[in-house]
Amino acid sequence: MNTDLPVPCSHCGKVNYSKASGTGGFSTVTCECGHTTAVVGEFANFVTDRLYIKSGSEFAGGDYTLTILLAAMACECEMSFQFTKWRGLDSKNWFVPAEIEAYEREYARLFSLEKKVNAVAQLLVSEQFDDFVISHPLLNGINQSGSSSPALQYFKEKIFNVRNAIIHSGKIDSRKEEAEEALIAARQFVGVLRQMDKLRQVQLEARHKSERELVLNQTV
12, 60, 108, 138: residue in contact with Zn ion (rule CB under 5 A): 12
Cβ 166 vs Cβ 69: under 8 Å: yes
Cβ 120 vs Cβ 193: under 8 Å: yes
CB of 38 to Zn ion, least distance (A): 14
What is the footprint of Zn ion within residues 13-32 (CB under 5 A)? Answer: 14, 31
String marking each residue 111-150 x if it binds Zn ion according to CB under 5 A: ----------------------------------------
Nearest to 37 by CA among 1, 55, 11: 11
2, 6, 8, 11: residue in contact with Zn ion (rule CB under 5 A): 11
Q: What are phi and psi of 8, to 5 degrees?
A: -70, 135
Q: Which is nearer to Zn ion, 11 or 19 (CB)?
A: 11
Residue 16, beta-bridge partner list: 7
CB of 25 to Zn ion, least distance (A): 21
- The CB-side HSE value for 166 (13 A sphere, CA atoms) comes to 22
String marking each residue 149-178 x if it binds Zn ion according to CB under 5 A: ------------------------------
CB of 71 to Zn ion, least distance (A): 30
CA distances to 48, 99, 179, 193, 204 from 103, in Å: 19, 6, 32, 18, 20
**DSSP classification of residue 36:** E
Nearest to 108 by CA among 119, 95, 93: 119
CA angle in degrees (0–180, nearest 5) for 133-137-140 = 65
What is the footprint of Zn ion within residues 35-64 (CB under 5 A)? Answer: 35
CB of 11 to Zn ion, least distance (A): 4
CB of 18 to Zn ion, least distance (A): 13
Q: Does 206 bind Zn ion (CB under 5 A)?
A: no
Number of H helices, E strands in the chain: 8, 4
Q: Which is nearer to Zn ion, 12 or 60 (CB)?
A: 12
Q: Does 9 bind Zn ion (CB under 5 A)?
A: yes
Q: Does 33 bind Zn ion (CB under 5 A)?
A: yes
Residues near Zn ion (CB under 5 A) are 9, 11-12, 14, 31, 33, 35
